[in-house]
Amino acid sequence: MTAARWALHPVTLALALLAGCVGAVAADAVATAPLLAVAVGLAAGFANSGST
């Protein structure tokens, strides 16, 4: 699989989202709560989309 395909792979994207959440919490910044709110919606929207 090419690098581009790996970048678009669902597992890669989910792990990137997880890393973003961990990073936002670790940074303990003012924007942490808003970022987590977006992440919550993103995870739900992505999971609810199925294959299309």
Partner 1 sequence: MACVAAVLGALPQALVPAPVRAGLLGLAALAVLARELGLWRFAVPENARLVPEDVQHRAQWGALQFGFEMGTGMRTYSPSALPHLVLAAVVLVVPLPVAPLVAVGFAAGRFAMPVLSNAWSDDGAWTAVWAAAEPVVRPLLACICVGALTVATLAAWS
Q: Is 45 in the site for partner 1 (CB under 8 A)?
A: yes
Rounded CA-CA distance 23/32 in Å is 9
- Asked if 23 interacts with partner 1 (CB under 8 A), we say no
Closest C-alpha among 41, 1, 51, 33 to residue 17: 41
CB of 3 to partner 1, least distance (A): 14
5 in contact with partner 1 (CB under 8 A): yes
Q: Is 46 in the site for partner 1 (CB under 8 A)?
A: yes
Query: Is residue 31 within 8 Å of residue 24, measured between CB atoms?
Result: yes
Least CB distance to partner 1 at residue 51 (A):
4
